[in-house]
Structures are given as structure tokens and as C-alpha cells.
Structure 1
Amino acid sequence: MKNLILIFGLIIFNGTIGMAQESVLFGAKAGVNFTSMNSDSFSENNTMTGLHLGLLAEIPITTKFSIQPEVFYTTQGTEAEVIMLGGSPRTTEYKLDYIQVPVLAKFYLTESLAIAAGPSFNFLVNEEVDGEETDFGNSFEFGGAVGVSYNFTGGFFADARYFHGFTDAFDSENYIDSSKNYGFQVGIGFMF
């Protein structure tokens, strides 16, 4: 175990000599979301397409490792067959808009290709069930994200990630029990 920790530490902190030459980068990104929800109350559900738009910073720790906090607006949801009490399933559309604040640890495999993972702090700003505004959603969702990014010349980049909510999206005492958001995001952006 000690050898594994030592090897991991050497990989992460490889290149610390060049750290002083690195500066914080700022950027903007936009993309598409493919989201859904897990719930014991759903007999089946479909992916919903949404958007995300926001700002980010990349804070180099070493030449291969950085911290990337982000803030963006995201639209997500699902269309699901909800199992009703004493009745047949009913098709219901859920739309949830969040301000997501992921804080990712980013490790560069090459000069341009990186993997990233970290927690995401999500704040509900709007919710609709079948087109009607509701207040069943939890105002805060804690989740995680893991993904990959590629930096092009000229400051442009592309990224793809999977995210999953660890806490319930809806208030289970008043609405749906054990509902978790999950999905994929694909985006493009520019660092300056």
C-alpha cells in the first residue's frame, strides 16, 4: 500500500519545477446534456436533452495536475413512466434547471489530453413537472463527475463527462422516493 501511495504521489507531483511558470487560466464553455433519473417510482424512463453554459478556471498545481472549479447553468430532466398508487403507470416529464458548481481534480495524460473527477454542488433554480412549475425538488443536490478533455491550439477545448447525483433530486417525503439525476455532458469552450 505504501508503494502504491508513493507511486501515485510521484505521478501527481511530477513536474513541480515548472509550476512557477504556470498561471491560472479562465474560460467559458457550452454544450449539450443527455440526462435522466433513477427512481424506484419509475417503471421506465427516457433520456432528455438539455444545455449547459458557464465559466471555469484552471488552477495549475504542477505541470500535470490542476484544480478546475466551474460554475454553469444546466437544464436536465427525464420523461418517465411513474408508478401511481393503485393505478397504472403515467407518463410524466420532469425538467430541472441547476446552477452546478463542480470542483474537478484534473490530471494531464499528455500535453493536451486530461482526465478529471470531483464533487459537484448543484443548486436548483427551476423545476417543472409536465410543464407546470412545482416545488417538489430539493434545493440542493450533491453529486460527482468524471470525464475527459482535450485542449486544441489557440485556447479551444472539448470535454465529455458523466455526472451522477448522490442525493435525491426530489423531496422523498412529499413526492418521489429515491430519485437521482445522472447523465452525460459534451461541451466545447475557450480558455484565455
Structure 2
Amino acid sequence: MKKLFLGLGLVAGTFAFAQTSPTFGLKAGLNVSSISDDGYEDSKSKAGFYGGVFMNAPISEMFSIQPEVLYSQYGAKVTSTVEGSGLGTTYTSKSSNSINLDYVTVPVMFQFHATPAFYLEAGPEFGFLVGAKAKGDTTTTTTTGGTTTTTTNSGSTDIKDYTTKFNMGAGLGIGFNFTPNLGINARYVAGFTDINKQSDGEDGTTSVDNDNNKNRNNTFQVGLSYKF
């Protein structure tokens, strides 16, 4: 909760610095997200959606602060293999999954307006997990006494209990306003925090240590914004 209040405090604090009345708007677009591949054989990017609201508060002729509240789909397509043996049996389990991580994110962007239409931006992003699922196929090959069997299972697994609830990153982007109301924006958000739970939580749930691997969200965003 302290992290949530910190994010909200930064948003509220923008009013104190605003020199003119802030403007409000909507924005939406495409996420091309990935997860750092520590512990995975292969990790590929996946497409998702983001959308939400923002407030732009000018603090001078060339600078402004833009806090946002967005629903944002992160994740990646990953492949991993687990091998083992015991009591005369060996097995290999290979999984190919699409990891879907849904967040409510609160970016706070500090913008430099090089021209009235063109700007650069940078700032922190705070994310709060609302859903996490792994969807795909797992193929297991088992060999016992010279006999080999192969089974394949498909489905969706809720992994929210194994994923950290808070995510933090930093965004760097550019934007261009076609009109005073309509604009386009591109942003890269690099994650700082590990998305894996590394130990048992206070709520008593069992977490996944992922062999002490650390995986972080990374996302490229592009979309449109509309100011009222």
C-alpha cells in the first residue's frame, strides 16, 4: 500500500507545480512486450493492448508533467524444458506458453516540449498486477524400462499467486501532436523489478523460486491520445 500511496502522491503533487490549468484526455494503443529470458530457453515478444486516462499539467512554457492511469497487457511467449529421473524412469517436459500479465499502471512522465507539437518524455511507471495466466502446451516424454510414452496437455493456468503484485519501471518516449487535441506517442518502458515471487508470501501461499532466476517486463508502446 505504501507504493500505491507513493504513486498517487506523485500524481496529486503535479497540481502544486502547474502554472496553467491542466488538460485531461484519453489514450490507447499497442503494447509489444517481452520478458527478460533468464531461465527460459527462448523468449519472444507478444502483442497486447493499453488504454486509459491522463492529465497534462504544464509547469512552464517548455515543460509539463503527465500522470496517467492505464490498463496495460504485458507478458511474452516463452519456452522451457524440465528434465529428471528416478526409480528407473526418466522424463522430459517441454512447455511453450504465452504468459499474459495484466496491470493497472501509473506512469508519471516529465515532458520537454522542443516545439509546440513535438516533445520528449521520461519518468517512472508503477504497475499493480490484476491478472496473470500462462496459456499453451506442455509435452512430457517418459521412459521406463525401454518403453517411451509421450503426452501433451493444453490449457490455461492462473499464475497470479506466483507473480509479484507490484512492478516498477522507467519510460522514455517521444510524441507529436497533430492538432491541439489529437496526438501520437511512442514509449519504451524498461522494468526494474523481478516479476517472480522468490519466497513464501505473508498470505501463506507457496511461491515459485524459478531457480533464483530474475525476469523483468520490457515493453514498447505506440498509440494515439486525445485531449478534451
Classify the TM-score, shorter chain.
0.7 to 0.9
Determine if contact 1:74/1:97 at 8 Å carries over to the other structure: yes
Structure 2 length-normalised TM = 0.72
AA of the residue aligned to 2:111: K
1:163 corresponds to which residue?
189
Determine if contact 2:37/2:43 at 8 Å carries over to the other structure: no
Q: Matched residues in 2 for 1:89 and 1:162: separation?
A: 31
1:144 corresponds to which residue?
170
Q: Matched residues in 1 for 2:168 and 2:74: separation?
A: 15
Gaps of 5+ in 2: 1-17, 85-91, 136-155, 200-207
2:22 corresponds to which residue?
24
2:73 corresponds to which residue?
75
Q: Matched residues in 1 for 2:209 and 2:80: separation?
A: 11
RMSD of aligned C-alpha atoms? 1.6
Determine if contact 1:172/1:178 at 8 Å carries over to the other structure: no
Determine if contact 1:65/1:106 at 8 Å carries over to the other structure: yes
Q: Following TM superposition, by how much is the alpha carbon of 1:172 offset from its aligned partner in structure 2, in angstroms?
A: 3.2
2:153 corresponds to which residue?
none
Match status 1:113 vs 2:118: yes
Q: Matched residues in 2 for 1:85 and 1:40: separation?
A: 18
2:214 corresponds to which residue?
178
Gaps of 5+ in 1: 1-18
Do the aligned partners of residues 179 and 85 (structure 1) sit closer, same or farther apart at CA in structure 2, a change above 3 Å counting? farther
Q: Following TM superposition, by how much is the alpha carbon of 1:133 offset from its aligned partner in structure 2, in angstroms?
A: 1.6
Q: Following TM superposition, by how much is the alpha carbon of 1:88 offset from its aligned partner in structure 2, in angstroms?
A: 6.0
Runs of 4+ in 1 over 4 A off after TM superposition: 85-89
| Cα deviation digits, residues 56-79 of structure 1 (max 9, x gap) | 011101010011100000112111
| Cα deviation digits, residues 66-112 of structure 1 (max 9, x gap) | 11100000112111112435446531221000000010110011111
Structure 1 length-normalised TM = 0.85
Match status 1:187 vs 2:223: yes
1:127 corresponds to which residue?
132
| Cα deviation digits, residues 33-66 of structure 1 (max 9, x gap) | 0001003111211111000010001110101001
Q: Matched residues in 2 for 1:84 and 1:149: separation?
A: 44
Q: Matched residues in 1 for 2:190 and 2:170: separation?
A: 6
Q: Matched residues in 2 for 1:75 and 1:166: separation?
A: 17
Q: How many residues align?
A: 173
Q: Matched residues in 2 for 1:109 and 1:43: separation?
A: 43
